[in-house]
Amino acid sequence: MLTGCESGQGEARLKAGYKLLDSARPDYVAMSAAADAYLTEKPKGPGAAEALYLRGRAFEEKSQQDLTSPASDLTQAQAAYTQALSQGPRPGVEGLIHAGLGNVLYFQNRFPAAVTELLAALDKLERDSDKAWAMYRIGLCQQRTGQWESADQTFGKVRGQFAGTEQARRAAEHQGARGFYVQVGTYAGAAQADAAVADLKKQGLTAGKFADSSRPGVQLVRVGPLATYEGAVAVKERVWGKYSGAVIVP
């Protein structure tokens, strides 16, 4: 990715920072420091777009790993990605930047804008894994705006073009959905699940228990179906005090 850069300490640190991107849990502190080292040394250097992209990724990772200030971190990531686009990056890097912006907008619940950025990324991304993640994220955005059939088509493309991948597996889990649920918890026994269902019904919520197909004997308690993502968010916020592990599915 780093092409045409001059030699120097900043470039060396930038290359080291990029190696962290392939980690299962990237070190966002080291990534940010590497990007800043290059930008301090060569703010308009040939690797400026790559450095700003790395800085954006660092803040994006921080928003997911350190939940003390996710909104601020996403805003910082968006600013870095936007500045990176202004540096005239080569197509492959430009694709990554658009994908990064798409991710940020997705986490900000700005789904139509996220789709625009992710579509801009697809033709420029160089690695199949990056293309698969971008297409999968487009499908999620389509679901969250109620475009269920379009989402199914997108997830079908992920499964067809990237068969056997993690992205394809996740796409299969989402395909076919036509409503949202708030999953408040998983329970090892039916009695615990029944108690949670009864508690939720007392609150006026439509709740039920479901068998977990991947874990025999485990019961999932969910509220729903809910017609809109916004409605699911409202229910999640309502039950969060008692069910702090609640998540929205799909």
Domain ranges of the chain: 9-174, 180-249
> Any idea how long the chain is?
250
What span, in angstroms and rounded, lies between the C-alpha atoms of 115 and 162? 19
Judge contact between 35 and 52, C-beta under 8 A: yes
User: Which CATH architecture is the domain 180-249 placed in?
Assistant: 2-Layer Sandwich (3.30)
Q: Which pLDDT band, with edges at 50, 70 and 90, does 4 fall under?
A: very low
- Give residue 213's pLDDT: 80
Domain 9-174 fold is: 1.25.40
**Residue type at 53 in one-letter notation:** Y
Q: Considering the entire predicted model, what is its pTM?
A: 0.90
Q: In whole numbers, what is the pLDDT of the chain averaged over residues?
A: 94
Chain segment 24-36, per-residue pLDDT in tens: 899 999 999 999 9
Q: How far is CA 230 from CA 15, 37, 75, 181, 226, in A?
A: 41, 41, 22, 11, 9
